[in-house]
Amino acid sequence: MKKLYLLTLLILLPLSVRALEVDREVVPRITLGGKLVATADVIELDSDPAADDYISVEDSTVLMRFDKRLYGKGVAGAVVGIEEEDDVTRFQQLHALYWDQDMKLEIGRTRLRNTLIEFPMLRDESLLTYTHVGNASSDDKYDQIYGELVSADWYFDEKIQRLGVWFGGRRNADKAAFVNAPSGFDSHGFSYVYEQPEDLFYVSRLRHAGIRLDRQQVDVSGSSEWLQALLVGAEINLNLDPQANWSLSGQVISNNGIDGVVAAAISNGAANLVSQRAQAASVSVVTSVRYAARPHLLTRWQTALTLAYKEYSDVASARHWSIAPSLFYRIGQGIDLLAQAMYTDFSAALGAGNDTRVQLGIAFSFETVFNDNIGERDSILNLEHGYIQ
């Protein structure tokens, strides 16, 4: 009898091992999302007189997320995102992630933690110089939004509040253009954010609020200095009617800058203009009033007016301001007609003159999930800029 038991055990043991091997190949949850934004841009720019009208598909993106539940608790996976920017496709999202009910970790390429509020603008770059902390080691628009980082967020108060820390690098991919830019980890920061989940936007006055410290290293004149920017922002409901909602949002960024930035370096047309303005001490303020019509709780259209102002503290009378009305009309699920105008005025210290940009277009977005046995609080499309809520 004992021999029979041992023989049976020897037969079943390989089967158990094979079963475990098969279990490891369980198909992950697969989330696919994307957005195509196509606009005709009519421009007249004193800051760039040679620029002509053009068709833009920038900010168009494809996103993929693959994740699985772990043996213990939590979920781990990876995100891959491809974006069109300046006629080049680039990996703007390429990171691994872990999350559970208390925390979320990310490592890889993703959005920098250099803004707090998502304003109702057609694209991220519409008011980029006002809404994001600039990159002192790059003039590339892509590097103002994305970088390589490690981030951790801890959730509490039923995930409505969170504390976050991060560190990483935002140096330009074209290292030859910024030979003096620091190598390795050149940025870090921390934040506190209060944020209602999307399905509870209209149950309280406060939708979103936060404070963030962003620090980045810059090498100048053979020595290293640290830029420190403090961000404070909030978004509130002016009424609590989800079918006809008025909301107000605002953000302030105070950048301590470095010494030695002169007017010529931050005037329109100057070499390395974006990075030089990022190095200059500055204060920027952005505020926006938004109206969203959602008859029968189905979003149909949104209009908004956004005002922005920025001044450079160490250069006399160096400032610029913008006004940007926008209108987005939803003609089908994930299909929107887009219209936005923007006027920007520059003071004499920045080269004087003004820029005008009118954009008309259409956007198509989608999201679909395969093998969903996990559940998720946020849409994968929230990884990128959203213009309508």
Give 219's pLDDT tier (boundaries 50, 70, 90). Answer: confident
Asked whether 218 and 279 are in contact (CB, 8 A), the reply is: yes
In the predicted model, what is the mean pLDDT of residues 44-62?
Answer: 92
| pLDDT in the model for residue 20 | 47
Query: pLDDT tens across 62-97, in order?
Result: 999 999 999 888 999 999 999 987 777 889 999 999
| pLDDT in the model for residue 185 | 87
Highest mean pLDDT (candidates 121-130, 171-180, 366-375): 121-130
Range of the domain at 301: 2-383
Average pLDDT, the chain: 89
| pLDDT in the model for residue 11 | 56
Q: Looking at the domain assignment, is residue 388 inside a domain?
A: no
Q: Looking at the domain assignment, is residue 202 inside a domain?
A: yes
Q: Looking at the domain assignment, is residue 389 inside a domain?
A: no
Report how many domains make up the chain. 1
pTM of the model: 0.90
pLDDT reading at 235 higher than 80: yes
| pLDDT in the model for residue 183 | 73
pLDDT reading at 9 higher than 70: no
Query: pLDDT tens across 310-351, in order?
Result: 999 999 999 999 999 999 999 999 999 999 999 999 999 999
pLDDT reading at 103 higher than 80: yes
| pLDDT in the model for residue 388 | 87
Joined together, the tokens standing for residue 154 give: 């801890």
Asked whether 189 and 210 are in contact (CB, 8 A), the reply is: no
Q: 130 CB contacts (<8 Å, ≥6 apart)?
A: 253, 284, 285, 286, 308, 309, 310, 322
Query: pLDDT tens across 241-271, in order?
Result: 999 999 999 999 999 999 888 999 999 999 8
As a three-state string, the secondary structure of the chain is: CHHHHHHHHHHHHHHHHHHHHHHCCCCCEEEEEEEEEEEEEEEEECCCCCCCCEEECCCCEEEEEEEEECCCCCEEEEEEEEEEECCEEEEEEEEEEEECCCEEEEEEEEECCCCCCCCCCCCHHHHHHHHCCCCCCCCCHHHHCEEEEEEEEEEECCCCEEEEEEEEECCCCCHHHHCCCCCCCCEEEEEEEEECCHHHCCCCCEEEEEEEEEEEEEEECCEEEEEEEEEEEEEEECCCCCCEEEEEEEEEEEECCCCCCCHHHHCCCCCCHHHHHHHCCEEEEEEEEEEEECHHHCCCEEEEEEEEEEEECCCCCCEEEEEEEEEEEEEECCEEEEEEEEEEEECHHHCCCEEEEEEEEEEEEEEEEECCCCCCCCCHHHHCCCCCC
Give 43's pLDDT tier (boundaries 50, 70, 90). Answer: very high
5 or 145: which leads in pLDDT: 145
Q: What is the CATH number of the domain that holds 323?
A: 2.40.160.10
| pLDDT in the model for residue 356 | 97
